[in-house]
Structure 1
């Protein structure tokens, strides 16, 4: 079970079927969802409800998702674009405006939930730059990893895999979910996850990342 049950979301989607289906699946995962059909209604809901995260389509009537993010500015809660626009230039533009994540339709429900949980956790960490993992410290500001206070050299991909698992600590992530979270792309061979996990274990210790046979990997909530 997620430790984010009851977290408030605003979902803005002008397609009624997609809106209702997405709201239902998020509700089933324990979120409290306010579903609206355009950017103007989303703006009102955000101002009134102060949600933990906002899920926005881009192409919406009256006020589109991009314009809404611009209007919210630095006061915006964590924002995830959920849109059919999947060109690299679209992704770059959306993130450059200040969105915390960008997911193209059609989407995997488990990946969507995992990414919502990740952006909420990052927001809740505030200014704290370090997070301990049973003797391992992840410095998110400096993109650095330490073991018992000593710096450990990790590659960019190893860091992203470790961060993805930490953002979902206690939850089992499949290899394909880790690929989606760490690379934001489905072209990667799932075996690249195994390679990076093996390297992280050699550098950080065998008990930092647990294998759940038949399912994937996780960082346990309680140290092994």
Structure 2
């Protein structure tokens, strides 16, 4: 992954979840930023073409646009999406993975599994 810190964004309407995931990612030397909604992320991506995270960690259930809708709007961007969700619904999981998600983890998730999942995604997308 080179000398640059991988840049990962977290999108979750629960501020405490964002803080915890950011702390976890920073503990393994990842750069990270969080968004409280999918709309915030999409607006940032639209207004700043150079804004390019290596991976998006996305909650399924959020007010406004849910995670699946955000994923649909990211389609074609090349941004890998890993879903995190407190509601492990098999149909939703299948829908997310069929739409191109590269990971799907139910909350609460094991920290080591989460980091391993993100690292695998980053390694598979790094040229």
Match of 1:33 in 2: 32
> Structure 1: 5+ residue runs without aligned partners?
126-224
Match of 2:8 in 1: 9
After TM superposition, give the deviation of residue 72 of structure 1 in Å.
1.4
Where do residues 148-163 of structure 1 align in structure 2 (5 Å cutoff)? Answer: none
1:57 maps to 2:59: yes
TM-score of the two chains, using structure 2 as the length reference: 0.88
TM-score of the two chains, using structure 1 as the length reference: 0.52
1:19-54 CA-partner distances (Å, limit 9, x unpaired): 111111111111111111000112134453210000
Q: Distance in 1 between matches of 2:95 and 2:34?
A: 25
1:75-119 CA-partner distances (Å, limit 9, x unpaired): 141110011121222211111111111111110111111101101
Where do residues 36-47 of structure 1 align in structure 2 (5 Å cutoff)? Answer: 36-47=35-46
After TM superposition, give the deviation of residue 124 of structure 1 in Å.
2.1
Q: Distance in 2 between matches of 1:4 and 1:27?
A: 15
After TM superposition, give the deviation of residue 6 of structure 1 in Å.
0.9
**Contact 1:69–1:76 under 8 Å retained in 2:** no
1:119-178 CA-partner distances (Å, limit 9, x unpaired): 1111225xxxxxxxxxxxxxxxxxxxxxxxxxxxxxxxxxxxxxxxxxxxxxxxxxxxxx
After TM superposition, give the deviation of residue 69 of structure 1 in Å.
0.8
Q: Does the residue aligned with 2:79 lie in a helix, a strand or coil?
A: coil
Q: Does the residue aligned with 1:75 lie in a helix, a strand or coil?
A: coil
Residue 115 and residue 3 in structure 1: after superposition, are their counterparts in 2 closer, same or farther (change >3 A)?
farther
The size of the alignment, in residue pairs, is 124
After TM superposition, give the deviation of residue 4 of structure 1 in Å.
7.5
> Structure 2: 5+ residue runs without aligned partners?
none
